Amino acid sequence: MIPAVAAPLVANAEGTQPAAEEKQIPQQIEFVLADGTVVQTSTVNLTTGAHQFSELTLPQGYELVSDGSFTVVSSADIIPVTVRAKEAVEETATVIASVQFIDADGNYAGGGNYFLPAGVQNLSILSQYVPEGYTLAEAGDFYVVAGGSYQAKVVKAASTIIHVTYKSTGGKALGGGDYFVDEDGDGIANYSELQLPEGYNLTETGDFFVDANKDYEITLKKEVEGTIINVTFVDEEGNNLGGGDYFVDLDDDGIANYSELQLPEGYELIQTGDFFVDANNPYTITLHKVQTHEVEQDTATLVVKYVKEGTNEVVGEDEAYTADGVKGEVHTFTVDLKAPKGYELVEDEDSLSLDVEYGQNAEVFVKVKAVEDKNEGKEDEEKTDAKEDSKKEDKGVDTGVAMPLAGIFGTMSVALGGMIALLRRKNRK
């Protein structure tokens, strides 16, 4: 505690002494901080009655917290007075710097050399120098040095400040802020007056009504669809599998899906689903090697043979039809039927379909008949009649019975590995 020191009392503004008939008594004054810490204790001679704190001589470097009053009654009392330390005042150097005021179109609106306080300053210190009819169009700090040159944006005083929030077509927040619009003061602004985030364009253009009390939400689209991210693929042992830059998040909502990435051949994703997109963040994605099984390949073969009706004599054959595939699986052959020269198909069908397994050979037999010669048929008929007449003359009774040949083939039949395969025929169109 600082020892008590008698200090002179300033009785009033004129410095006059109290009247001789007023009785003074020694009064102890205790100067304390807000937390109760005693800074100094003094004893002064004061008359009984009311006094103001401002009458007291304060400890050096301190000031009153409030300009209150106190009452002197007895010298046995201790009067507490709350004080606080004065803030240190730093002397700021003043320098000469050059300032140019630029309008929204980049045109020079005024400026010159001004005395400015050195160091970090707020742009608001330039308000007193802004050209007539303009106001500052930006805020923030700048660093002032002697001989420095600075530019400050200004707008016509008629402009209106509106608050704008930008978002992407996918709903991602893109920032925003306060913007000066409607320089001519007609209550109408154009979207082109707004400063857009880099890499985005307006989805809506033209004019809009200005309302300083309204918050504007404006949707923007990317100049280039998608976000480029860098990806490195590794296997489960950490071996590098390559990678590169990939376009993802085409709807620009800040979220992409792992399925948008092109994976190295023979590998598959371990982690699936969505992830947040950050163009400044390199991605390392672990992949799982796909287990492959060797597949045996083989050939399916189909041979079409044409047989004469009644005798089953092979009178023609198509070149073998072949197809390659996985052994054990089935290939469907579709064949257009063409009868050999001098023959025609027995049935009114000109195509057939047949399933043949890869690794099997199959034959299909198609019945044909000779094309009839009308003259030759007539001669054969006359010869037959003459022969019958001769038999009647010789034997008097017809004992001859025509026995049809029982064919081993149907109109169409198939031999496949000793089994009969079913045909799927196509009707004539």
**Are residues 131 and 147 both part of a single domain?**
yes
- Is pLDDT above 60 for 3? no
Residue 408 has what pLDDT?
A: 33
Band of residue 374 on the pLDDT scale cut at 50, 70, 90: low
Closest among 339, 299, 298, 301 to 320, alpha carbons compared: 301
Percent of the chain's residues with pLDDT above 70: 80
Is 7 a residue whose pLDDT tops 50?
no
- Rounded Cα–Cα distance for residues 95 and 99 (Å): 13
392 belongs to a structural domain: no
Q: What is the CATH number of the domain that holds 130?
A: 3.10.20
Residue 104 lies in a domain: yes
Residue that finishes a domain, picked among 201, 222, 243: 222
Higher pLDDT, 199 or 201: 201
Summarised one tens digit per residue, pLDDT across range 75-130 is: 888 889 999 988 765 667 899 999 999 987 889 999 999 999 999 899 989 999 99
Do 312 and 417 share a structural domain? yes
* pLDDT: which is higher, 60 or 420: 60
CA dist 155 and 158 (Å) reads: 8
* Tokens representing residue 270 in the block: 């371990």
Pairing of strands 227-234, 283-289: parallel
**Is there a domain that residue 26 lies in?**
yes
The domain that contains 417 carries what CATH number?
Answer: 2.60.40
Given a cut of 90, whether residue 151 has pLDDT beyond it is: yes
Query: What is the distance between the alpha carbons of residues 111 and 129, in angstroms, rounded to a whole number?
Result: 7
* Banded model confidence at residue 278, pLDDT cuts 50, 70, 90: confident
Examine the domain organization and report whether 301 and 422 are in the same domain. yes
What is the reported pLDDT for 43? 87
Indicate whether 310 and 417 sit together in one domain: yes
* CB of 29 closer than 8 Å to CB of 44: yes
The per-residue pLDDT for range 318-328, each reduced to its tens digit, is: 999 999 998 88
Could you say which of 85, 118, 134 is where a domain stops?
85
Do 131 and 192 fall within a single domain? no
Same domain, 239 and 205: no
pLDDT of residue 373: 64
Residue 78 lies in a domain: yes
pLDDT tens-digit series, residues 304-313: 999 998 888 9
On whether the CB atoms of residues 154 and 106 are closer than 8 A, the answer is: no
Residue 398 is predicted with a pLDDT of 35
Average pLDDT for residues 181-189, to the nearest whole number?
Answer: 81
Q: What is the pLDDT of residues 31-49, one digit of tens each?
A: 999 888 888 988 888 888 8
- Same domain flag for 313 and 422: yes
CB distance 309 to 343 below 8 Å: no
Share of the chain above pLDDT 90, in %: 35
pLDDT tens digits, 384-423: 565 565 555 444 333 322 223 333 334 444 444 333 333 3
Residue 1 clears pLDDT 70, i.e. is over it? no
**Span 284-308, average pLDDT:** 89
The mean pLDDT value of the chain amounts to: 80
Whether 377 is in a domain gets the answer: no
Query: Do the domain assignments include residue 385?
Result: no
Domain check: are 62 and 99 in the same one? no
Are 218 and 231 members of one domain? no
Across residues 50-76, what is the average pLDDT? 87
Whether residues 419 and 327 share a domain: the answer is: yes
Whether residue 224 has pLDDT greater than 80: no
Contacts of 399 (CB under 8 A, 6+ apart): none
Q: How much is the pLDDT for 5?
A: 38
| Same-domain check for residues 166 and 118 | no
| The pLDDT of residue 328 | 87
Q: Does residue 324 fall inside a structural domain?
A: yes
Asked if the structure places residue 398 within a domain, the reply is: no
This prediction has a pTM of 0.31
Nearest residue to 188 (alpha-carbon basis) of 166, 205, 211: 211
- Long-range residue pairs from 276-283, CB within 8 A, at least 24 positions apart, any chain: 277/227, 277/229, 277/248, 277/249, 278/229, 279/227, 279/228, 279/229, 281/229, 282/229, 282/230, 282/231, 282/232, 283/229, 283/230, 283/231, 283/232
Same domain (yes/no): 214, 190? yes
The domain total for the chain is 5
Tens of pLDDT along 152-169?
A: 998 877 778 899 999 988
The residue from 103, 124, 156 where one domain ends is 156
Residue 114: which domain range? 94-156
